[in-house]
Structure 1
Amino acid sequence: MTPQSEDHKAEVRHYLVGFALALTLTLLPFALVAWGGLARMQVLTIVAICALVQIVVHFRYFLHIDFSRQKSEDLHLILFSALVLAIMACGTLWIVFNLAGRM
């Protein structure tokens, strides 16, 4: 086997692990909601935790962003973009609810 084919196999294995984790973290909340056996707050908590873990899985397995020195610039860029989007969304909601309260 050539080193190139071994790298390709490792990369495919990396993507398959990411896909399996993402699929599991998607199907688990759907199953909990469909089953309906838990209290509403427990289901919401589990769904929120699965969503946060899935964000980490997508960063790690599909975007190849980890805590290594060379990838930290990409992580900083993504976190800054998320911060700007959160500020814009929260500011918009603040203005809309303030206007709704004044109507």
Structure 2
Amino acid sequence: MSDLANQAAHDESHGSVKSYLTGFVLSVILTAIPFWAVMTQAFDKTTTIVLAVTLAVVQIIVHLKYFLHLDFTPHGKENTIAFLFSALIIGLVVGLSIWIIYSANALMMYM
């Protein structure tokens, strides 16, 4: 009986075809809108940049939900927290490395 429950939980953790198609369609739409805005120059530069960045963040969330299946259900909470911790560590390493390199460059003696 526990094998059936484990299999159901395993199948539940993976997405359905409908879930993947929803994620795919949303990803295409969230890519097409900024592409259209840039190619047609329908908005001024600032508005286009804000639109592209905003839709990029929304697309990241769509990918995390529909393709990586990260959520805050009891089953997915551990994976989500592990992912967020990893993203924090990577962000710190990259950000602090850039800061150190910039500071070292600023302190270099110019001849």
Alignment coverage as a number of residue pairs: 95
Extract unaligned runs of 5+ from structure 2: 1-10
Give the TM-score of the pair, scaled to structure 2.
Answer: 0.79
Give the TM-score of the pair, scaled to structure 1.
Answer: 0.85
TM-align CA RMSD: 1.5
Structure-2 separation of matches of 1:37 and 1:16: 29
Higher-RCO chain (CA-CA 8 Å, sequence separation at least 6): 2
Deviation at 1:37, TM superposition (A): 2.3
Structure-2 separation of matches of 1:101 and 1:35: 40
Report SS of the residue matched to 1:70. coil
Q: What pairs with 1:19-98 in structure 2 (closer than 5 Å)? A: 19-98=24-103
1:28 counterpart letter in structure 2: I
Q: Which of structures 1 and 2 has the bigger CA Rg?
A: 2
Extract unaligned runs of 5+ from structure 1: 1-6
Structure-2 separation of matches of 1:99 and 1:30: 38
User: CA offsets, 1:19-59, max 9 Å, x none?
Assistant: 00011111111111111121211111111111111111111
In structure 2, the residue matched to 1:4 is: none
Dislocated runs of 4+, deviation >6 Å:
none
Deviation at 1:93, TM superposition (A): 0.7
